[in-house]
Amino acid sequence: MHESLLSPQLVQAAYVVASVLFILALGGLSNVESAKRAVWYGIVGMVLAILATVLGPGIGGYPAIAGAMAVAAVIGAIVAMRVQMTSMPQLVAALHSFVGLAAVFIGLNAELEAQHVLAALAQGATPESFTGFAGKIAHKSAVELDIMKVEAFLGIYIGALTFTGSVVAFGKLAGKITGKPWKLPGGHFWNASLTVAALAMGGLYFADIGGIWPMVVNAVLAGIVGWHLVMGIGGADMPVVVSMLNSYSGWAAAAVGFTLGNDLLIITGALVGSSGAILSYIMCKAMNRSFISVILGGFGGDGTPAAEGPEGEMVPIDADSVAQLLQDADNIVIVPGYGMAVAQAQQSVASLVSRLRKQGKNVRFAIHPVAGRLPGHMNVLLAEARVPYDIVLEMDEINEDFPDTDVTMVIGANDIVNPAALEDPNSPIAGMPVLEVWKSSHVIVLKRGRGTGYAGIQNPLFFRENTRLFFGDARASIDELLKRID
């Protein structure tokens, strides 16, 4: 029997402290100024949770655990140092897939362990001869074992769905899979049928028919559902999907926590699951989308412009003319989008803003809730460039100020500034709240080319009389402006 380095009481106390730190971390992330401190709360809480678990009762195998952790830490450090800010959304999606896969493995392992313990008890072993998780199983009643089966079933199903869904989301965000929505004919029928089949596998599992295999088939069926669900969601909805997958990973972790009898996993999973669901709802509201419709198939466009595009032509503008407009302006608003992230132009933009503010100009940023590929993506980029927090405003805070704005610069954004959302009831994004930049006196749009945005929808803004297109890489374009503005 393994002698633990920490008593069960100390482990539970450590779990309580870690839970409090996780709650503080989650609360702190809601504010830019407290986010850095919140991250440290999360780091300390996770270190404490890992140490308490590894050094707790019934673990052992320290060399193997230490080796696995060392390898994982090296891989994580390499990935963290190499990843670009533009790749952060797909990294988050990939990490969600790991959580889902872990839930599947833990659920399957729990069932194998339960089968082993029950077989040993049937042959005369005593419950006291088992330690750790096996000991918990040995002391469970028949009803408690049935409840554990439900928990394992849910953990495996949600985990497998999260795994494949996150892999597809990663592929779409990374451009390795088309952003166009795709699903089999009668897609919802197939999703429902696969879910019913998974429930049937659960019935076999509860009836102790087939051993571990019904749960393996359950994982495969759930994986197909996850793949098909996210494949059927368009690229424009990916921020919501990533947020929802975050929620799924939390519920998978919570289900695993119930299976293992681990209070910390239950608390942490519930925190992640509920916060992810709330964030997804907020984002759906910001996009005027039905939460259910997005998750079950969503909008997203087919990646091609509408058959009847806006009338007119895009009028280009050169760096000298843009610089003159900025010099003459008093009130300036900058709307960052994914194009700014791709060009890694945030540092150059911050330098431009600093120079303009030194001239006494009122310069602010307007952030749309779904700008970029991840919730808060633009806020993170601007914080990285040390842009003052007080000039970074959300859509609801700044939309009414556009009529009094002299120049609005849209840097690599498309769908979030599309007037068709408010003016064209037939538009795929009709009803979606957008930044009403066209009400400014002048609108300068920085674009790499004449294509459509991530949703594949043409933008009438580009053809308006007060709009000029400043073509080129965003970073290079801003650098040209810096040469002309002292």
Catalytic residues: 415
281-315 in b/e form (b: 16+ CB < 10 A) is eebbebbebebeebbebbbbbbbeebeeebeeebe
Q: Which helix (H) or strand (E) holds 300?
A: none
Q: Are 316 and 470 in contact (CB under 8 A)?
A: yes
In angstroms, the CA 377 to CA 241 distance is 15
- Give residue 231's Cα distance to chain centre: 16
In angstroms, the CA 41 to CA 20 distance is 9
Secondary structure of the chain: what % helix, strand, coil (to 5)?
65, 5, 30
Q: At 98, is the secondary structure helix, strand, or coil?
A: helix
Q: Which helix (H) or strand (E) holds 155?
A: helix 142-173
Q: At 298, is the secondary structure helix, strand, or coil?
A: coil
Q: Are 269 and 250 in contact (CB under 8 A)?
A: yes
Strands lying side by side in the sheet with 362-367 = 392-394, 362-367, 331-336, 407-411, 442-447, 467-471
In angstroms, the CA 344 to CA 382 distance is 11
Structure tokens given for 27: 């609360």
In angstroms, the CA 420 to CA 454 distance is 15
Q: Are 485 and 327 in contact (CB under 8 A)?
A: yes
Reduced 3-state DSSP string for 22-71: HHHHHHHCCCHHHHHHHHHHHHHHHHHHHHHHHCCCCCCCHHHHHHHHHH
In angstroms, the CA 259 to CA 253 distance is 10
Q: Are 456 and 304 in contact (CB under 8 A)?
A: yes
What angle, 0 to 180 degrees and rounded to 10, lies between the N-to-C axes of helices 32-54 and 62-82? 160
DSSP per position, 323-338: HHHHHH-SEEEEEE-H
Residue 263 has a CB neighbour count (10 Å cut-off) of: 15
Nearest Cα to Cα of residue 483 among 348, 305, 390, 361: 348
